[in-house]
Amino acid sequence: MPNVAPPPLYGLICGLLAGVAGDLGAARAELESAWGPVLIASDPRPWEESRYYEKDMGPALLRQFLGFKRPVLVQQLPALKHQAVALEARLALGATRPRPVNIDPGILDACALTLASTKRAGHRSWMEGEIWADITLIWQKGGFLPLPWTYADFRDPRTLAFLTAFRRAILPALNPQAKK
């Protein structure tokens, strides 16, 4: 009889975009309340890769990444994306901009970073409902390798450094039976 392995665990990351630092802080507080404590966070930095969100969010956006302490299962990713969309809507109530914050969850393991998306594309795999899995980066030869469709900010050396640090910090929790 074959051994049945437990389902793999993943590290949960979240990319945030906001027009003001206070909106990043509000989103982080809500996410920690829902998803548990942050293990590692990047410093907020200007996001200049695109003007895609300018109409709804305004110019001069800030980018921040969060890596959470609590591992998740791959099948949780659609629910996490739905929670992120709902939180965006709650944070927009009474705001001066239609969309004060953009929240994009993803999962990371030893091999890849996968983001959740509500947008269909040829390189994305369906998960459930209107949620698609987007393999954004793969880990190869000691570093993250962007793919042809990888967003510019995920190619940025600062983002790659954050993800590498989070990967190093979270991997022991993803495979607790591994020999150290």
**Does residue 104 lie within any of the structural domains?**
yes
84-93 per-position pLDDT tens digit: 999 999 999 9
Which pLDDT score is estimated for 123? Answer: 78
**Does residue 14 lie within any of the structural domains?**
yes
**Does residue 140 lie within any of the structural domains?**
yes
Residue 170 or 151, more confident = 170
43-69 per-position pLDDT tens digit: 999 998 888 888 888 889 999 999 999
Which pLDDT score is estimated for 1? Answer: 59
31-43 per-position pLDDT tens digit: 999 999 999 999 9
**Does residue 118 lie within any of the structural domains?**
yes
Number of domains in the chain: 1
**Does residue 3 lie within any of the structural domains?**
no
CATH code, domain carrying 158 = 3.30.70
Whether the pLDDT of residue 121 is over 80: the answer is no
Which pLDDT score is estimated for 154? Answer: 93
Give the structural domain span for 69. 9-172
**Does residue 2 lie within any of the structural domains?**
no
**Average pLDDT for the chain:** 89
C-alpha span between 86 and 81 (Å, rounded): 9
C-alpha span between 4 and 12 (Å, rounded): 24
**Does residue 1 lie within any of the structural domains?**
no
Burial of 65: CB neighbours in 10 Å, binned 0-12, 13-18, 19+: buried
Whether the pLDDT of residue 179 is over 50: the answer is no
Which pLDDT score is estimated for 177? Answer: 55
